[in-house]
Structure 1
Amino acid sequence: MVLQVQAGGSTAWVQTDAFKNFLLWSGYGKMIARGFLPDLLKPTSRHPEGALAELEPGDLIGYEAHGDVDHFSIVVERDSNGYPLVDSHTGDRYHVPWDLGWDKTNKFVLIHIRD
């Protein structure tokens, strides 16, 4: 994969969809799941406790609107109820609930970052 360099950084650094694709195609990241909030909470044969339960500190959450990933946050820990907390720099958020207030029309992309 060839990365194009733009003013301010590579394509994968400045475009969120390109970053997602780079992570998945390079093998640095592995898709846990993609879907609406209820889909990520629901137990399935692949995710017995729901896909959201598989997130670990260091993993990424992509926020998708109209088919495009618009934002990423990094999972930093879980609160006392086990709810993932994230940090992000675009909106300067520190240890906040992972959904960031996005509504039911948005999909989420859960990506495990491989060691």
Structure 2
Amino acid sequence: METLKQNWLDFFQSDRKEDNWWERKRGLYRDRKAEMVRISGEGHLFEKLRCSGQTTFRYLLHLSFLIKQHDLFFKEEQVMPFQFRLENGKLVEHKVMERPFQTEEIAGIEAESLRGLTEKRFSYDRRSAVQYAERWWNSYNPSYRKFDVDCTNYVSQCMRAGGAPMRGAPDRGSGWWYQDETWSYSWAVAHSLRWYLSGSTSGLKGKEMESARDLIPGDVICYDFEGDGKWDHNTIVVAKDADGMPLVNAHTDNSRNRYWSYEDSTAWTPEIGYKFFRIGE
């Protein structure tokens, strides 16, 4: 572990595959005319396996990037699960461990569940939503359940902190709500939240925007990594970079001030699809 801490840059560059997440991340910064001024990190070991002269370590790596873009400095943070393998004391393999996505086949919120609802607006406190996102980006509010795939649960909590009203309980397929260790599909399942935001006409709803540039802090981005119509991930916008593009916070692979496009994700594919939602309109 100490060897890895000494030089993060050499460690990442040791795997030069064309589709390596680190190369994509470096390319993303180049495209934004941004510079990594400093990289620091800390690993937290959670599993150690020994077999036939080999030792495998699995750990969470908390990375911090000091970024300069034009005259603006900001700090990006990301927590990723890594695995490395030693053979006779020599590093022979390292890789990012891929997180699982939710496997529930949820079709989303059916149009019938929205009938009969009257138009009702609410005042969305974006500052409170962002403050919550910053407070809990790398930890978990004990008032809510923690999920193995926690991205949508986290974004829902942020919107709730911003005053988004819950409705629909106890029908899990209706509305958007969390109550007594039970929740709607739209609260915790990425695919369902995406369809709820675009279909709701009362309380919490989303107005689809044309591009990421149109978003402001407190808004939400949905991701279909493979472009197959199944929505896999959600993030919340917490800031804008020097070019006016969104920076987001997220759970599962916990991230703070991450560039919105997720091109540096191990789940990214060229077929990725996005939906951009203005919350509260």
Instruction: Report the TM-score, using the length of structure 1 for normalisation.
Output: 0.73
* Equivalent of 2:206 in 14, 17, 29: 29
Question: Which residue of 2 is the match for residue 17 of structure 1?
Answer: 191
Q: CA deviation at 1:8?
A: 5.4
Alpha-carbon contact 1:62-1:73 (below 8 Å) kept? yes
* Equivalent of 1:4 in 144, 157, 172: 172
Confirm whether residue 58 of structure 1 aligns to residue 204 of structure 2: no
* Equivalent of 1:98 in 241, 254, 260: 260
Confirm whether residue 72 of structure 1 aligns to residue 72 of structure 2: no
Alpha-carbon contact 1:8-1:14 (below 8 Å) kept? no
Q: CA deviation at 1:80?
A: 1.7
The number of residue pairs the alignment matches comes to 97
* Equivalent of 1:89 in 240, 251, 254: 251
Instruction: Report the TM-score, using the length of structure 2 for normalisation.
Output: 0.32
Q: Which structure carries more strand by proportion?
A: 1
Runs of 4+ deviating beyond 2 Å: none
Q: CA deviation at 1:31?
A: 1.3
- Comparing 84-93 with 96-105, which one deviates more in the overlay? 96-105
Distance in 1 (alpha carbons) for counterparts of 2:245 and 2:213: 9
Q: CA deviation at 1:88?
A: 0.4
Higher relative contact order (CA 8 A, sep 6+): 1
SS in 1 for 2:271: coil
Unmatched 5+ residue regions in structure 2?
Answer: 1-112, 114-167, 174-180
Distance in 2 (alpha carbons) for counterparts of 1:95 and 1:8: 30
